[in-house]
Amino acid sequence: MRIDPICAWPPSIVRFNAAWPSQQVLILLVMAKSRKVFVCRACGAEFPSWTGQCHSCDEWASVGEAAVTASTPSVGTNAARPLAEVGQEFSLPFPVGVSEVDRVLGGGFAPGSCSLLAGEPGIGKSTLTLQIGLSMAQVGATVVLIAGEEAPSQVAARAARLGPVPESLLVVEDTDLNAIRAVIEQEKPQLVVVDSIQMVRDSSLDNEPGSVRQVKSVVRQLLDIAKPVGVSLLLVGHVTKDGAIAGPRVLEHLVDTVLSFDGERHGGLRSLRAIKHRFGPTDEVGVFEMTAEGLQAVPDPSDRYLQDRQAGLAGSVVFPSLNGRRPVLVEIQGLVGPLAGPVGQLSVQGLSHKRVSLVSAVLASRAGRAFNRNDVFCSAAGGASIDEPAADLAIALALVSALEGRPLSPDVAVCGELGLGGEVRNVPQLEHRLQELYRMGFRTAIAPSAAAQGPTGLTVIAVDTVSEAIALGLASGQPAAAAAA
């Protein structure tokens, strides 16, 4: 005789043994029904035994005992069926009316979808979500704003600055999950904006709002409420310094779309991109500028980044970067000065510090240009943020141009990745980058020799090594002395 497994215990462990007294079997059954876990009140991490300090968030005396009742495995009622026979449902997205948001979402929010808008504090998440709410309410949609971060009066003041406030834009101050459930059931809105998800509380849990356990539970329940009735959710999530959304990246797998909003907080442009999108592409990027009238779309980012450029300046090189699949021209600037202290400093802004260090090491070893007796500054101008290796060659030419006081010709741009041997490597989407250069008035590009042909009217100077690029690039400009004359 055999007892079938209870809960998650494998059959090989729980077998009836005629020699066991019935009391022992009973204890075994009770143990199988519930087990104990120890849960951190601060972050929600679970441990099999008690610990004085949480191993996950380092909080002291935050771990306590909690009983977990194991569920009885249920017998599935849905038999396997051919995928080809499953009906397909297409829900057309409804446009948001903020052009750059619609571009990133591929047309708007799909009904019943859940999107997470993640970004650092102060980047403009509340402003963007309010603009989305205003725009959708303008065309008659009911939008509910759960204001957890700011008082409704503050939200109202901000909204009034951004434009006329339609009647169908509703605000709720209560961040209790039950209150949100009631509002969704009563109003049946097209969109619910939760600003922020870290402020919503599930009162059945004793963890703090914003803890992993709370945030996970809140999002799961919001999905259960909203999805069946076709209500779309837009959740705002603060990203911590190490880049995690809502603490660890606990929400990304639960939601349909993750939108990342980043950029330079002071001045500079902000980029909105989908880093996960179940309903469309992830390579579109929306570009905004924060103004006194809220976030304004920047339809031509290349023009915006190059507008303050002084052509013919030593240390200035134009680089065709790729923002999503959109080529954007950016000015890379180098400055090489005398040592201010006992050792040289490398100061980098808007570029990867590691990449600039690598480029300067390659220049020293492979091109005979050492910077060890100088302080070196290198930046992407205008608050741009570049982390692609395709910028290596432009960084190299900016540094050498600054070191030697020799500018590049104003209509030359540079693009290419550098290998440790000083070789110039190909870059993705070169053709698109070259087209953007031509559109913006550049007539010569220094690019990897594997380069695709540029558009008619753009001369591509193909280079194999960094030394070759320096020789051809710096010869294209006038020497500093001649330029000054």
Give the footprint of Mg ion on this chain (CB under 5 A): 126, 149
Instruction: Give the nearer residue to ligand TYD in terms of CB position, either 121 or 299.
Output: 121
Instruction: Give the nearer residue to Mg ion in terms of CB position, either 126 or 360.
Output: 126
x-or-dash string of contact with ligand TYD, 157-196, rule CB under 6 A: -x--x-----------------------------------
451 binds ligand TYD (CB under 6 A): no
Query: Among 126, 142, 271, 379, which residue interacts with ligand TYD (rule: CB under 6 A)?
Result: 126
From the CB of 448, what's the least distance to Mg ion, in Å?
Answer: 43
Sheet holding 114-119, edge to edge: 169-172, 143-147, 191-195, 232-238, 114-119, 257-263, 270-277, 285-291, 294-297
Round to whole Å and give the CA distance between 110 and 213.
27
From the CB of 420, what's the least distance to Mg ion, in Å?
Answer: 43
In the block, tokens 């000083």 appear at: 422
Instruction: Give the nearer residue to ligand TYD in terms of CB position, either 234 or 317.
Output: 234
Query: Among 143, 226, 269, 290, which residue interacts with ligand TYD (rule: CB under 6 A)?
Result: 290
SS (H, E, C) 103-133: HHHCCCECCCCEEEEEECCCCCHHHHHHHHH
Q: Where are the alpha helices (DSSP H) in 150-229?
A: 152-162, 177-187, 212-226
Distance of CA 391 to the CA centre of its chain: 20
From the CB of 129, what's the least distance to ligand TYD, in Å?
Answer: 8
Q: How many CB atoms lie within 10 A of CB 220?
A: 11
Query: Among 148, 210, 294, 407, which residue interacts with ligand TYD (rule: CB under 6 A)?
Result: 294
292 binds ligand TYD (CB under 6 A): yes
DSSP string, 11-46: TTTS---TTS-HHHHHHHHHHHHEEEEEEETTT--E
Instruction: Give the nearer residue to Mg ion in terms of CB position, either 120 or 264.
Output: 120
From the CB of 241, what's the least distance to ligand TYD, in Å?
Answer: 14
From the CB of 125, what's the least distance to Mg ion, in Å?
Answer: 5
127 binds ligand TYD (CB under 6 A): yes
122 binds ligand TYD (CB under 6 A): yes
Segment interacting with ligand TYD (CB under 6 A) among 47-55, 287-295, 333-341, 442-450? 287-295
If binding means CB under 6 A, how many residues of this protein chain bind ligand TYD?
14
Query: Among 124, 286, 315, 454, which residue interacts with ligand TYD (rule: CB under 6 A)?
Result: 124
For residue 468, give the amino acid letter. E
Round to whole Å and give the CA distance between 101 and 96.
7
Instruction: Give the nearer residue to ligand TYD in terms of CB position, either 294 or 389.
Output: 294
From the CB of 149, what's the least distance to Mg ion, in Å?
Answer: 5
Would you say 132 and 163 are in contact if contact means Cβ atoms under 8 Å apart? no
123 binds ligand TYD (CB under 6 A): yes
118 binds ligand TYD (CB under 6 A): no
Residue, CB closest to Mg ion:
126
Would you say 45 and 57 are in contact if contact means Cβ atoms under 8 Å apart? yes
From the CB of 339, what's the least distance to Mg ion, in Å?
Answer: 43
Q: How many CB atoms lie within 10 A of CB 485?
A: 7
Give buried/exposed letters for 452-467 (b at 16+ CB in 10 A, else e).
eebeeebebbbbebbb
Segment interacting with ligand TYD (CB under 6 A) among 19-27, 123-131, 320-328, 336-344? 123-131
Residue 294 contact partner, candidates ligand TYD, Mg ion, none, CB within 5 to 8 A by sort of partner: ligand TYD
Residue 290 contact partner, candidates ligand TYD, Mg ion, none, CB within 5 to 8 A by sort of partner: ligand TYD
Q: Where are the alpha helices (DSSP H) in 269-408?
A: 301-306, 353-366, 392-404
- 238 secondary structure, DSSP code: E
Residue 376 contact partner, candidates Mg ion, ligand TYD, none, CB within 5 to 8 A by sort of partner: none
Would you say 106 and 93 are in contact if contact means Cβ atoms under 8 Å apart? yes
If DSSP codes are grouped into helix, strand and coil, which group holds residue 437?
helix
Would you say 414 and 307 are in contact if contact means Cβ atoms under 8 Å apart? no
Round to whole Å and give the CA distance between 306 and 442.
12
Query: Among 44, 108, 119, 166, which residue interacts with ligand TYD (rule: CB under 6 A)?
Result: 119
270 binds ligand TYD (CB under 6 A): no
Residue 44 contact partner, candidates Mg ion, ligand TYD, none, CB within 5 to 8 A by sort of partner: none
Residue 122 contact partner, candidates Mg ion, ligand TYD, none, CB within 5 to 8 A by sort of partner: ligand TYD
Give buried/exposed letters for 204-215 (b at 16+ CB in 10 A, else e).
ebebebbbbbbb
- 231 secondary structure, DSSP code: -
- Which residue ranges make up the site for ligand TYD (CB under 6 A)? 119, 121-127, 158, 161, 290, 292-294
